[in-house]
Amino acid sequence: MPTAMITGASAGLGRAIATALAPTHTLFLAGRPSSRLDRVAEEFGATTWPVDLANTEDIETVVEPIVELDVLVHNAGVAYPGRVGESAVEEWSATMAVNLLGPVALTLALLPALRAARGHVVFINSGSGINASPGLASYSASKFALRAFADSLRADEPALRVTSIHPGRIDTDMQRDLIAYEGREYVPEQFLTPETVAAAVAQAVATPLDAHVHEVVIRPR
């Protein structure tokens, strides 16, 4: 069975992606050790990998045993709501560390394994990676940069498939924090479900090998 590593799989969209890929892939769940991640791993018979995207120095050593990897899904991310004038440099640094530098470091560490499998790298980006969103200054910047990294990886590694997923707002804890910042009532029905976005990820991964899905843009109806 092909292998798939998913970051940020302990809840929300990451857990939904694990659910969508579990029937067809052996799962490697990467993230900070936690009881929630352990429960997801137990449910799917998956292996956990103690990867802290904010600590790039240890990533290469952690994933060194992986010699072949079919799919890498970059899902983990953070957002600090705030307009430019409200933001702090520390928030920009923390956002870039998890949303950009961590995925870069993990991809580079796993590049030999991905090449060996002629694998597929999926980046969970955002609508904010296409059009900057008010109140999400550092998040939008990190997602624009992540899209550029995905495009560069696709251009420089033609043996790999590289897909950027750009969903609109999703019903997750991160979304609740953003709506609270905006001072609005949270209405889950206004947003995409994690399962809908996970299905798009699974469909991109299942695309026959004669095709290459570069980008997927999903918006709530």
Active site (catalytic) residues:
139
| Chain-centroid distance, C-alpha 147 | 12
The pair of structure tokens assigned to 117 is 């499998």
CA distances, 91 to each of 11, 94, 136, 204 (Å): 23, 5, 11, 32
Q: Which of 219, 200, 202, 198 is nearest to 15 (CA)?
A: 198
SS3 of 49, please? strand
Give the number of C-alpha atoms closer than 13 A to the C-alpha of residue 96, restricted to the C-beta side. 11
Q: Are 49 and 30 in contact (CB under 8 A)?
A: yes
CA distances, 163 to each of 62, 147, 149 (Å): 25, 9, 11
